[in-house]
Chains A and B, each alone.
Chain A
Amino acid sequence: MEKVKCECGHLNPYGTYLCESCGKPLKEEKGKVANMRYEGVARRSQTYKKSPVDLVWNFFSSVKVGIWIIVLLLVTSSLGTLFPQEMYIPPGENATIYYEQEYGLLGKLYYQLGFHNLYSSWWYMLLIASLGISLVIASLDRFVPLYRALKTQRVSRHEGFLKRQRLFGESNKIDNIDEEIQKAEKLLKEKRYNIRRENGNLLAEKGRFARWGPYVNHVGLIIFLIGGMLRFFPEMYLDEHMWVREGEHEVVSGTNGEYFLRNNDFLIELYDEEDEKYQDALSRADGPVVKTYQTSATLLKRTSDGTVGSETELEEIKDYDIRVNDPLTFEGFSLYQVDFKLNELSEFTFTLESETVDADFSDIEFTVNLNDPQKTFEFDNGYRVEIMEYFPNFIIDDNREPTTINRIPDNPRIIFEVFPPGANEDEGEISLIGIQVNEALNGENDHTIRMTGAEMVDVTGLTIRKDRTLPIISLGGIIFMIGFIQGSYWHHRRIWIQNREGTLLLAGHANKNWQALKNDFQLVSDNTHIPLPLDQTDKDNKGVSQDDDRTK
């Protein structure tokens, strides 16, 4: 498309309606006041409206569309808080029935519509994606031309431009116009305006950089959204869980078996019920209130001697007290205190006795480590005890077979086989032993295994987290805040004062907060002979302040 040449000599892109350089209106427009939206520059979305690319571009560059996207996000987000999301329902509950059972028909509907996982649903993702696209396109569509126009603007503006500003005034009764402009310049300089002069004309401008605020904050948001998206790529994000028993160490998953964590001690501290300070609140609380959860841990690293099959050597890297709000971090990993289990069974101690056999059993005492039981126990007097089967978490399954739910010794049962001296392989006495359980399995037994002790440990539950998107997300957040503040705590104002053959022309424009601009004019007119400009929208606006319409 051909460019438009203004009478001042500037070549404007096709579609411009106020000359970028002198401001002369290049198109007829209704109304007294020029549409200063984006300085009257040509924007792609306003100029090209035919090809499919144009249509998509124009759709996403529209603020109306942008607003709709945000409103949809806002409304759908609120629906997701009606009932808890799936991740917040009590552990072990089945979502398929939980929602209906707890919340009735509405709950069932909630589940069927997928609202129990709303924030990861495809259509919520789609909304966020459209928000991102809209941000990019709307910003590009406006930023480039606006930047050009603000950069190429001249001090001397066309009369038609000044007359059609919202704040406009003129006077031909001033004797020495140049002197008055000089005085105004001084006043405005004190108000920290940037002043440019050209042929006796003046342009005072302040806070132009605030115009870039929205673009900076939109860029920050885009970076933030990209950061959020990266989480779904491998290696970027890790969310694992580990349980470590006191005195033991476990591998930190995600570290390729390189790091281990030892739990030296787990501790819970409660608030003291006697403490006068908290007495009122504690008496109101349902139970004791926890003051601290803490795992005293040691981080271990495998030393790389590399020989296969050799005993792994672990080197202590650091000691750390992991607490809620105080994770242990190393090499991008963080270990968080999130869970615990007190008094998990760890060891049983047994003795053997008999009412019928006359033998010395006083030396027979053995300990079964419930997490890693030894298979056979042999004794000096010739006795032998074997573990035939071990169920750490015993249950009778649907086929009425004994089995174990998992490897955690919550309900341990052991099937022992006792061999008296000289007994054959098939002559063992078999019994099933657990807490308050002691059953002979193959008829009457001559010997009884008696449990004499049980050891317990505390187990700490830690979350292992690695999130490589954090730097990107933080960068986005910082840029967003900078732009947000830049665009909100400053605003762009301009004052033009020109001497046109003995007539003083005066105009002002702000893209918001007109009151502040008017105050500046007041200051000038109080201290010079320059008149106050009139607000050309005063008559026909009914108490509505009019900024430029930047939505179209």
Chain B
Amino acid sequence: MIELSSNFMYASFFLYFAATVLFAVSVTGKKFKNKQGLEKNKAGLLGYISSIAAFLAMMTYFTTRWIGVGYAPVSNMFEYTTALGIAINLGFIIIYAIYRNNYLGLFTMPIVMLIVAYASMFPGEVQPLIPALQSHWLTIHVITTVIGQGILAIGFVSGLIYLVKVIDFNKATKKVKGLEFIMYTLLCTLAYVILGFSFGAADYQATFEFVNEQGNEAEINYVFPPIIGPNEGELISEQGINPFIEVPAYIESADLNTVLWSVLGGLVLYLLLRLSLRKPIGGAIQPLLKSVNPQTVDEISYRAIAIGLPIFALGGLIFAMIWAQIAWTRFWGWDPKEVWALITFLFYVVYLHLRLSKGWHGEKSAWLCVIGFALIMFNLIFVNLVIAGLHSYA
């Protein structure tokens, strides 16, 4: 069952790719008109169909995995991040139905691909659930939350389109730098995925013996060549090189090493692109967007957030409270994960209230959408893996 489910995941990849290509054709291809003067360029519609097919494939992955593992597959980083990818896809399907904007597809599909690929870097093994996690309310809470986040993410994509469209890339302003930084983080993720897959395919593994925080001997595994080594580490595997730097025991050296590889990989990718394009990446994309109506993408981003935030509030706060009341005896405990869900909610509430005033439409509002999504990702990655509270997956 679990194997079957991974096959559907691979299949969806091709569909996402097809959808991206089709949306690209729809926005760059000539606007053929037939004799009645109707548009003949059906690529946008085909792209949409392809994205729906990808969604269905992913839902099949989801259901078969659910059956296979025996609980809702949203219980570890691999499963949750994958679910986020599916949810962004769902958000796109909803918003496209309202606005029929092909640019949205062109930007969303690659981002979904990137997120699903990123998810598959986490171990996909079946998790034995501890008692607190064996709850229907938890399932309802997590699934609703992820759907909310997926729709909110469309607000980010739309905001990104807005920014690439309106920012003047001829001057090296703060805005240009900010946008390039977003592109760079996307590239880092891409680099991480590419490197991870390559080293994974080559079965790379380096093992160290080291002295951990408690002062005990321990072993640590690296899946990337160790640039940064553990405290008093000694290489005990065949593969591997001697690290250049050694870090103190309280730092997770293997994780830091991975981050370093991603950051450097992203840098290489960015520089390569930058050199071959001879302009900022945003600036290179901008001409593609010449017929984008900024007012429409501005409205799309607001609409996505207006639709997504109630769902997020329901899942991330209200259902979360119901679950917490049953599992942890109180509906609210100021656990870091809870607090960060509240912060994300409050941030979007601020966004909604700022939009009540005129000066905060358009560009400022688009930046807020970007920050909102950054918060969601921060919640997913940093809070889960680094701060880690009661929900900690890893």
A residues with a Cβ closer than 8 A to B are 63, 66-67, 70-71, 73-74, 77-78, 80-81, 84-85, 87-88, 119, 239, 271, 277-278, 280-282, 284-285, 289-293, 323-327, 334, 336, 338, 463, 465, 467, 470, 473, 477, 480-481, 484-485, 488-489, 512-515, 541-547, 549-552
- Verify A543–B313 contact, CB threshold 8 A: no
* CB interface residues, B 314-350, toward A, < 8 Å: 314, 318, 321, 325-327, 329-331, 333-336, 339-340, 342-343, 346-347, 349-350
29 A-B pairs in the complex with CB atoms less than 8 angstroms apart: A63-B353, A63-B356, A77-B339, A78-B343, A85-B334, A88-B335, A277-B126, A281-B125, A289-B128, A323-B131, A324-B132, A325-B131, A325-B135, A325-B326, A465-B329, A467-B330, A470-B325, A473-B331, A477-B318, A481-B310, A488-B310, A512-B302, A513-B302, A513-B303, A542-B294, A544-B361, A545-B362, A546-B358, A547-B355
Q: From known contacts A67-B350, A74-B346, A281-B127, infer whether A327 and B326 are also in contact, taking CB-CB under 8 Å.
A: yes
Identify B350's interface contact among A74, A119, A465, CB under 8 A.
A74
- Verify B326–A74 contact, CB threshold 8 A: no
Question: What chain B residues lie within 8 Å of A80 (beta carbons)?
Answer: 334, 339
The CA-CA distance from A289 to B361 in the complex, in Å, is: 51
Question: What chain A residues lie within 8 Å of B357 (beta carbons)?
Answer: 63, 549-552
Q: From known contacts A278-B128, A543-B166, A544-B362, infer whether A463 and B329 are also in contact, taking CB-CB under 8 Å.
A: yes
| Closest beta carbon of chain B to A229's beta carbon, Å | 14
Identify B361's interface contact among A63, A271, A285, A545, CB under 8 A.
A545
Q: Which residue of A lies closest to B333 (CB)?
A: A87
B392 located at the interface, meaning its Cβ lies under 8 Å from any Cβ of chain A in the complex: no
Question: What chain B residues lie within 8 Å of A473 (beta carbons)?
Answer: 331
Q: Which residue of B lies closest to A550 (CB)?
A: B356
| Closest beta carbon of chain B to A466's beta carbon, Å | 11
B374 located at the interface, meaning its Cβ lies under 8 Å from any Cβ of chain A in the complex: no
Give 9 new A-B contacts, CB below 8 A, not counting A323-B131, A515-B99.
A81-B339, A87-B333, A280-B126, A281-B125, A290-B130, A290-B131, A291-B131, A513-B299, A547-B358
Question: What chain B residues lie within 8 Å of A78 (beta carbons)?
Answer: 339-340, 343
Question: What chain A residues lie within 8 Å of B303 (beta carbons)?
Answer: 513
Q: Which residue of B lies closest to A292 (CB)?
A: B131
B354 located at the interface, meaning its Cβ lies under 8 Å from any Cβ of chain A in the complex: yes
| Closest beta carbon of chain B to A120's beta carbon, Å | 9
Question: What chain A residues lie within 8 Å of B259 (beta carbons)?
Answer: none
- Verify B354–A324 contact, CB threshold 8 A: no
Question: What chain B residues lie within 8 Å of A74 (beta carbons)?
Answer: 343, 346-347, 350
Q: From known contacts A70-B349, A324-B131, infer whether A488 and B309 are also in contact, taking CB-CB under 8 Å.
A: yes
The 3 closest A-B pairs by CB, nearest first: A543-B294, A544-B362, A280-B125
Question: What chain B residues lie within 8 Å of A66 (beta carbons)?
Answer: 353
The CA-CA distance from A67 to B334 in the complex, in Å, is: 22
Question: What chain B residues lie within 8 Å of A480 (beta carbons)?
Answer: 313
Q: Which residue of B lies closest to A120 (CB)?
A: B334
Q: From known contacts A281-B125, A325-B327, infer whether A71 and B350 are also in contact, taking CB-CB under 8 Å.
A: yes
- Verify A338–B353 contact, CB threshold 8 A: no
B29 located at the interface, meaning its Cβ lies under 8 Å from any Cβ of chain A in the complex: no
Question: What chain B residues lie within 8 Å of A280 (beta carbons)?
Answer: 123, 125-126
Identify A543's interface contact among B293, B325, B334, CB under 8 A.
B293
- Verify B353–A515 contact, CB threshold 8 A: no
Question: What chain A residues lie within 8 Å of B335 (beta carbons)?
Answer: 88
Question: What chain A residues lie within 8 Å of B346 (beta carbons)?
Answer: 70, 73-74, 77
- Verify A325–B132 contact, CB threshold 8 A: yes
Identify A484's interface contact among B295, B299, B313, B389, CB under 8 A.
B313
* CB interface residues, B 35-68, toward A, < 8 Å: none
Question: What chain A residues lie within 8 Å of B306 (beta carbons)?
Answer: 488-489
Q: Which residue of B lies closest to A81 (CB)?
A: B336
Question: What chain A residues lie within 8 Å of B334 (beta carbons)?
Answer: 80, 85, 87, 119
The CA-CA distance from A134 to B123 in the complex, in Å, is: 47
- Verify A544–B131 contact, CB threshold 8 A: no
| Closest beta carbon of chain B to A359's beta carbon, Å | 55
B residues with a Cβ closer than 8 A to A are 69, 99, 123, 125-128, 130-132, 134-135, 165-166, 293-296, 298-299, 302-303, 306-307, 309-310, 313-314, 318, 321, 325-327, 329-331, 333-336, 339-340, 342-343, 346-347, 349-350, 353-358, 361-363, 383, 387, 389
Q: Which residue of A lies closest to B358 (CB)?
A: A549
Identify A281's interface contact among B128, B135, B333, B339, CB under 8 A.
B128
The CA-CA distance from A96 to B228 in the complex, in Å, is: 35
- Verify B329–A549 contact, CB threshold 8 A: no
- Verify B126–A338 contact, CB threshold 8 A: no
- Verify A551–B353 contact, CB threshold 8 A: yes
| Closest beta carbon of chain A to B364's beta carbon, Å | 10
Q: Which residue of A lies closest to B133 (CB)?
A: A325
The CA-CA distance from A255 to B90 in the complex, in Å, is: 50
The CA-CA distance from A73 to B389 in the complex, in Å, is: 21
- Verify A547–B356 contact, CB threshold 8 A: yes
The CA-CA distance from A239 to B387 in the complex, in Å, is: 27
The CA-CA distance from A341 to B295 in the complex, in Å, is: 63
Identify B298's interface contact among A71, A77, A285, A543, CB under 8 A.
A543
Question: What chain A residues lie within 8 Å of B314 (beta carbons)?
Answer: 481
Q: From known contacts A81-B336, A81-B387, A463-B329, infer whether A543 and B362 are also in contact, taking CB-CB under 8 Å.
A: yes
Question: What chain B residues lie within 8 Å of A514 (beta carbons)?
Answer: 299
- Verify A70–B128 contact, CB threshold 8 A: no
Identify A544's interface contact among B295, B313, B354, B387, CB under 8 A.
B295
Q: Which residue of A lies closest to B326 (CB)?
A: A325
Q: Which residue of B lies closest to A338 (CB)?
A: B329
The CA-CA distance from A325 to B141 in the complex, in Å, is: 14
Most buried by A among B130, B166, B329: B329
Question: What chain A residues lie within 8 Å of B294 (beta carbons)?
Answer: 542-544
Q: Which residue of B lies closest to A294 (CB)?
A: B131
Question: What chain B residues lie within 8 Å of A285 (beta carbons)?
Answer: 128
Q: From known contacts A325-B131, A512-B302, infer whether A545 and B295 are also in contact, taking CB-CB under 8 Å.
A: yes
Q: Which residue of B lies closest to A478 (CB)?
A: B318
Q: Which residue of A lies closest to B294 (CB)?
A: A543
Question: What chain A residues lie within 8 Å of B343 (beta carbons)?
Answer: 74, 77-78
Q: Which residue of A lies closest to B138 (CB)?
A: A325
- Verify B296–A515 contact, CB threshold 8 A: yes
The CA-CA distance from A70 to B354 in the complex, in Å, is: 11
Identify B128's interface contact among A291, A463, A467, A545, CB under 8 A.
A291
The CA-CA distance from A324 to B350 in the complex, in Å, is: 37
Question: What chain A residues lie within 8 Å of B134 (beta carbons)?
Answer: 324-325
| Closest beta carbon of chain B to A74's beta carbon, Å | 4
Q: Which residue of A lies closest to B308 (CB)?
A: A488
Question: What chain B residues lie within 8 Å of A284 (beta carbons)?
Answer: 123, 125
Most buried by A among B336, B342, B355: B336
The CA-CA distance from A516 to B165 in the complex, in Å, is: 22
| Closest beta carbon of chain B to A53's beta carbon, Å | 25
Identify B310's interface contact among A88, A484, A513, A546, CB under 8 A.
A484
Question: What chain B residues lie within 8 Å of A338 (beta carbons)?
Answer: 329
Q: Which residue of A lies closest to B305 (CB)?
A: A488
The CA-CA distance from A425 to B75 in the complex, in Å, is: 68
| Closest beta carbon of chain B to A474's beta carbon, Å | 9
The CA-CA distance from A323 to B132 in the complex, in Å, is: 9
Question: What chain B residues lie within 8 Å of A73 (beta carbons)?
Answer: 346
- Verify A293–B128 contact, CB threshold 8 A: no
Q: Which residue of B lies closest to A131 (CB)?
A: B346
The CA-CA distance from A323 to B329 in the complex, in Å, is: 12
The CA-CA distance from A399 to B350 in the complex, in Å, is: 60
| Closest beta carbon of chain B to A329's beta carbon, Å | 10
The CA-CA distance from A547 to B318 in the complex, in Å, is: 30
| Closest beta carbon of chain A to B114's beta carbon, Å | 26
| Closest beta carbon of chain A to B126's beta carbon, Å | 5
